[in-house]
Each structure stands twice: as C-alpha cells, then as structure tokens.
Chain A
Amino acid sequence: MTTDPAWALAEHVCGVSFAMLPKSTRAATRHDILDTFGCLLGGSGAPGIAELDRVLGKWGGAEESQVILWRRRLPAPQAALMNASMAHALDFDDTLDHGGSIHPGASVLGASLAVADRLGSVSGADLMLAVALGLDISCRIALASTLDRGWHRTAAMGVFGAAAAAGKLLDLSVPQMVNAFGIAFSQAAGNRQCIIDGALTKRLQAGQAASSGVLAATLAREGFTGAHNIFLGRFGFFELYQPDGYDAARLTDGLGA
C-alpha cells in the first residue's frame, strides 16, 4: 500500500453501501440515470453508431451484454462501448460545468449496464450505488485537474469512474479496485481535437472509456495488476497528464461526506 490517493478512493468505493447514500444522492443518481439513458436512446441512431455496430457485430464474441435497441449481445466491454457511445453521441448528456467540465454519465452508465447484464439479476439499488460512486470518482478527478490541457475529460478521466462502477458491481476488494484504477490509467485517453475537426471520435471516446473501465475491473478481479501510484507517481496521472495543473487534495476532499 502507498499513500497515493488511489487507495483512499478505492477504500471509499469498496466500503460504501446503498444504505449509506443520502436521500439527495439517491435522487440525483436516479435523475442522472434517467437523463443518460434517455440520451442513449436518442443517440442510438446518431451518425457513427451503425458503423460501430457493423464492426463490433462482425467481430461478435460471447453474448454477455445487450446493446440497447440494437438487438445484439456482445462481450461486456464491446456492449459498454456501444451503449456509452450512444449516450454521448448527441452531446445532450449530463455535464459538470463548474471547474471540471466532464460528461460523467455516459461512460459510467455504459459500463454499469454492460456489467449488470453480464452478471444478471442486479437490483436497481446496486446499479444506483455503482453509478453514484462512478460519477463521484470521475467528477473528483476532473475537479482535481485544474488546468485545461485539451483532454476530452469525459474519456481520459471518465475511464476511472467507469472502472469504479464496474468494479463495484463485480464486488472487487480494495487491492483489486486499486489495480482496476491502475489498469484504467494505462488506458486513459481521449482529446478534444475531434471537436475542432468535427469528428465522430468524440462519441467513440466516451465508449472507449466505458469499455476500458469494464476491462480494467474484469482483469483486476482475475488478479491482473496495474500501477498503484496512479495519481502521484513519477509517471502518474498528474505528472504526465496535468503538469502544473492539478490540485491532488480535491481527489479526496470531503470523501463520503
């Protein structure tokens, strides 16, 4: 164990139960899920989604998780990619405007729906808990990243929230959750050049974050390891992705309060 804040975040994600969620958090989570799920439906026919379906459908694989409305089941990471890409395609989805600038819902819900479907018989309360924790993780990382360096935060930071949500549903231990964050860090990517150039990769990046989060949590449960000094290590997230532009304390300020 190290002093990297990843451990505190992992302990928090693993330790919180549905009963511990305040009433206001439950309400906000329901509303976020309603909004994100609606955006997913509305984006299901948006440009780029059919192309994704053709490619992923051709590849196929284990029929673990449903691609919403596309009448296709795919391995959970690929279903997460599709569902989250749909949820972000319209850019109508939830936004943390003040200080963070991230759409946290698409990758978190995309990952959660895919893992829940793979597991089967997941309750609404368990889904809400995973989503609430995932949203919190994504927003904390976005808020701690105080300088805009052109990342598409929805993806490059949302991958950690997706991993947290997927890991919560998979009931990871604290060390496994840290590994999931470390594996997510290795996949953290996404930039906003796609906005400037009007490219479809903006929606793909949200899907990629969801998919990478599912992969990270699933690998961690199998014993795969990731970096542990994820945020403050020599080549950690802040040094590498946010040089001279971060406030690490914001990762854990008021955690669980």
Chain B
Amino acid sequence: MSEQDGGQIASVGVSTDAATLADQFASAPHKRRPTHIVEAQFALPFLIAAALIHGRVGINEVANIGDTAVLDLAARIEGQAMDKTAGAVAGITVTLRDGRSATVKVGKPLGSPENRLSIAQLQAKFADCARNAVRPIADDAIASVAADILALDDVADVGVLADRLT
C-alpha cells in the first residue's frame, strides 16, 4: 500500500470489543491526538490512521505524532461494537468518497502463536529496527548479526554480536 490521501476516505469504522471501545474511543482525545510517543504506542485510532495513510506502522509512523494527515483521519475514525459472529477479534471498514468500501477482519493477529511471523518477516523487522538505530549500521553488519542469532547454537562467543556493531 502506498501513501494515501486521507481526504479520499469518507469514513473508517473499527469494530472491536467493549473494553477496547471504552479505552480507545469513548472519551480519550489523546488516542486520536497523542501528545507523546508513549501515548501514540497505545493509541488505536492514531495507529490505524497511520496505517491507512502510510501503508505501514513502523518506528517513524509511531513517532511522528505531528503528522497532520494522520491526525485528521484519526479524528474521524469511529468505534463500533464488534459483530462476534465472524469469530474475529477486530475489524476495520474503510469507505472512500467515491463509494467504494472494504472491510478487513482480523481473527488471529500477526505475531500471535496461531499466526507467527515467518523467518523472513522477523529478519525484515530486525533490519527495519536496525536502520532506525541511534547510529548508522552497515547493511552487511545488520545481516551478519541476524545470521549469527539465527545460528546461535554454533556461535562460540556471543561477544561477536556487539563487536559487529562497533
């Protein structure tokens, strides 16, 4: 998914359980407009808006709490009581201004024991995190450390992990 213009989106409905609705949608303005990164990490409307605008929720998307396109869309996201008949834990319906609409329901969230990240997904997450480190890390060092960890049984001295990053 590429960068989207939030203005094309007429409405976003999030269906979820009562506890999440109360926590995230009832009366918590910082869930739509977080004032701090720690609030943003736990702000469902903000994070969903970031996903819809940017196509991903990575380190930068969570940290950019001043992203006006995301904030504008987050302000318009509505919470709804979940239809439990489909066995989903949450669902999102996006309707565009031209009338098109799409619904995605999540039953087994990615990363859960029933829907594990693949090795390739773990490596991609590792690399994405490493590229956002406090100082630049060379791509070959990132790959080497990941490879070392995935073959950790055979590593003679784990000091190599930190050494590769210096």
Q: Which residues of A contact B (CB under 8 A)?
A: 26, 30-31, 33-35, 37-39, 41-47, 49-50, 66, 68-71, 90-92, 95, 97-98, 113, 116-117, 120-125, 127-128, 194-195, 198-200, 202
Contact = CB atoms under 8 A, between A and B. Distances in A.
Contacts of B62: 90
B125 A69 contact: no
Contacts, number: 126
Interface stretch (B28-36, B66-74, B79-87, B97-105): B28-36
A117 B129 contact: no
B129 A92 contact: yes
Given A198-B39, A202-B38, A125 B134 contact: no
16 contacts: A30-B152, A31-B119, A33-B149, A34-B149, A37-B161, A38-B127, A41-B132, A42-B59, A42-B132, A45-B133, A68-B165, A113-B161, A122-B157, A124-B151, A198-B30, A202-B38
B158 A49 contact: no
Contacts of A202: 38
Nearest to A123: B156
A127 B158 contact: yes
Interface in B121-155: 122-123, 125-130, 132-135, 137, 145-146, 148-155
A14 to B, nearest CB: 21
Contacts of B132: 41-42, 45
B35 A198 contact: yes
B4 interface: no
B134 A128 contact: no
B129 A70 contact: no
Interface of B: 30, 34-39, 41-42, 59, 62, 111-113, 117, 119, 122-123, 125-130, 132-135, 137, 145-146, 148-159, 161-162, 165-166
Contacts of A199: 38
Nearest first, the 10 closest Cβ-Cβ pairs linking A and B are A42-B129, A124-B155, A45-B134, A38-B126, A124-B152, A198-B36, A44-B134, A198-B39, A38-B129, A198-B38
Contacts of B165: 41, 68-69
A42 B39 contact: no
Contacts of B34: 198
Contacts of A113: 158, 161-162
A116 B158 contact: yes
Given A122-B158, A195-B38, A41 B133 contact: yes
Given A41-B165, A42-B132, A195-B42, 16 more contacts: A34-B150, A35-B126, A41-B129, A41-B130, A43-B129, A44-B134, A45-B134, A66-B162, A91-B41, A92-B129, A116-B158, A121-B156, A123-B157, A123-B158, A198-B35, A198-B36
